[in-house]
Structure 1
Amino acid sequence: MKHLFKAEKIKLYYSKKFWIIAGVIAILSILNNTSYLFNGSLTSLLGGNLVKETSEANNINIFSGLLGSIDDGFITFLIIFVSIFIGKDFDLGMFKNIVSRGFNKKKIYISKIFSSIYATIIFLLISMICSLIIGLVFFQKPLVNTNIIVNFIETITIKILLVFAITSISVLITTIVRNVGYSILTNLLVIRVIPSTLAMTFHSFSKYEISNNMYKLIDINTSSNILIYGLVISLVYIILSNSIGMYIFAKNDL
């Protein structure tokens, strides 16, 4: 298990696509934050706004900018990366090769989950660092006290857990589809398009939709009810997707 994860990390560092997507996420974060100075967000082209309930730069503080850096654009490129990262191993027959060397399928799946989450953390850090730099230059610097810091940490933690849930679902879908191109298409449909459509059609469904719960976490004054619900939703998706993924991956032939 330890050796598998180490090998996956090395593969990440040598992957051109990993660094390309990391660069795209950095540029997108910078553009979204700077374009917000002109009352708009480039990420709206990808299905959402940087911070949905504020439209003027002078109403944005550093904390809102950091929370807003985890947006629809970020999620879209994260899904694309996971689809490529895992789907390519199926295309190249890497999983068969690893299993033939005596590694347990469940351990292989767990190593893929860990490496995908590891990549997700790097993407998150890149996006938030870029947002922080822009925020320090252009956005409001609110007076900081213990309550603000605690609320921000709680909010960003739950938002990150929701991102981990998306990563877990992407891994699950990719290991089922087993092809890079089809995985990208299926992941975007299952995680982005279909849930959004259902949420607009059936409003009661929106409370179970990950993106909708992420949209609520845009401010450091988020209510405790929203935080608790977001925590529950993220953990349910993470546990279910990983449990189902390990079962299917272990049972099916590679």
Structure 2
Amino acid sequence: MNRVLNYDKYKLQKTKFWWICILVAIAMNTIGLYIMIKFSSGYGISNLQFEQYRSIANPVTLVFLIIPCIFVGNDFKTGTIKNIASKGIKREEIVLSKLIWNFVLAILFMVCSVIAGLIVLILFSKTSIKSKDFIELMKLTGIAIIALCAFASITTLISFIVKSSGAAIAISIVLILVSEILINLAEVLFKFKNFSKFSPNFIANIVSSGASSKSTTTFIISMFVWIVVCSLLSIYIFKQQDIK
């Protein structure tokens, strides 16, 4: 296991795509926050309330999903997966290594984004961040990380199925965009309220406007279910594939 973990670590150290994605997410997050600060200052509001800047912890999922898709898909494109498997490394270890590093990147993605947002908030506004608000922001960041790990598991599964980074990115984007429509449709047809709390996309609702403790707990449990199920499916599918 250590062999493939070290290989993937070395590969990430030599590539720039994930840093570019993180920087793009930081730019999108901070620019939006900066515009809000300037807009508020135009109305004489220099000290923002927590409800106004809690969106710092809202992950840019459409950017993040590119990371696991490229990370997994490129290994199929270059034949690296075949070379690693031929060296006696178990296929489940290959999948687990990808998942572990994708989870690490999810943490890094969120931490960098939130830190950048806090820096902009401190530098360009007179907002006084209360301790209770900071603790709440950290909680939201933790929940967002769990959601990104679920997204990473889903996109990793898609990448192992299609074996192409480009196709995986396209499918993942369509899936995220269409899923909201399908969830709303399911709520109407089956009269099931808050069906969206079982979807990783619900993180946007939690961060932006908040959710009840029950809904948040259900969401967190659902994310762990997504992670476990998609991880097991990725291992199963990869073990069934012929890559020789």
TM normalised by structure 1 equals: 0.81
8 A contact 2:68–2:102 mirrored in 1: yes
Paired with 1:77 and 1:134, the residues of 2 have a C-alpha distance of 20
Paired with 1:198 and 1:247, the residues of 2 have a C-alpha distance of 27
Comparing 132-141 with 167-176, greater Cα deviation is found at: 132-141
Is it true that 1:233 corresponds to 2:231 in the alignment?
no
Comparing 202-211 with 126-135, greater Cα deviation is found at: 202-211
Aligned to 2:182: 198
Query: Closer, same or farther in 2 for the Cα pair 1:120/1:143, shift >3 Å?
Result: closer
How far does residue 165 in structure 1 lie from its aligned partner after superposition?
Answer: 0.3
Paired with 1:250 and 1:57, the residues of 2 have a C-alpha distance of 58
Give the match's secondary structure for 1:103.
coil
Give the match's secondary structure for 1:202.
helix
Is it true that 1:83 corresponds to 2:69 in the alignment?
yes
Is it true that 1:140 corresponds to 2:124 in the alignment?
no
8 A contact 1:169–1:241 mirrored in 2: yes
How far does residue 62 in structure 1 lie from its aligned partner after superposition?
Answer: 5.8
Give the match's secondary structure for 2:68.
helix
2:197 alignment partner, one of 207, 212, 218 = 207
Identity across aligned pairs (percent)? 23
Aligned to 1:217: 207
Structure 2: gaps of 5 or more residues? none
2:88 alignment partner, one of 94, 97, 102 = 102
How far does residue 10 in structure 1 lie from its aligned partner after superposition?
Answer: 1.7
Comparing 80-89 with 193-202, greater Cα deviation is found at: 193-202
Query: Closer, same or farther in 2 for the Cα pair 1:64/1:170, shift >3 Å?
Result: farther
8 A contact 1:168–1:242 mirrored in 2: yes
**1:180-195 correspondence to structure 2 within 5 Å:** 180-190=165-175, 192-195=176-179
**1:27-38 correspondence to structure 2 within 5 Å:** 27-38=27-38
8 A contact 1:62–1:132 mirrored in 2: no
Deviations 1:140-168 (A, max 9, x none): 324324xx555444333222111110011
Comparing 130-139 with 56-65, greater Cα deviation is found at: 56-65
Is it true that 1:172 corresponds to 2:157 in the alignment?
yes
Query: Closer, same or farther in 2 for the Cα pair 1:182/1:126, shift >3 Å?
Result: same
* Higher CA-based Rg: 2
Aligned to 1:13: 13
Paired with 2:208 and 2:221, the residues of 1 have a C-alpha distance of 18
Aligned to 2:100: 114
Deviations 1:225-247 (A, max 9, x none): 13211211111111111111111
What is the identity, as a one-letter code, of the residue corresponding to 1:25?
A
Paired with 2:58 and 2:161, the residues of 1 have a C-alpha distance of 27
1:125 alignment partner, one of 66, 86, 111 = 111
Deviations 1:15-49 (A, max 9, x none): 12222222212222221211222559xxxxxxxxx
Aligned to 2:144: 159
What is the identity, as a one-letter code, of the residue corresponding to 1:240?
V
Equivalent pairs, count: 233
Paired with 1:22 and 1:149, the residues of 2 have a C-alpha distance of 22
Paired with 1:194 and 1:25, the residues of 2 have a C-alpha distance of 22
8 A contact 1:29–1:69 mirrored in 2: no
8 A contact 1:174–1:187 mirrored in 2: no
Structure 1: gaps of 5 or more residues? 41-55
What is the identity, as a one-letter code, of the residue corresponding to 1:164?
C
What is the identity, as a one-letter code, of the residue corresponding to 1:157?
G
Give the match's secondary structure for 1:76.
helix
Paired with 1:57 and 1:230, the residues of 2 have a C-alpha distance of 34
What is the identity, as a one-letter code, of the residue corresponding to 1:112?
K
TM normalised by structure 2 equals: 0.84
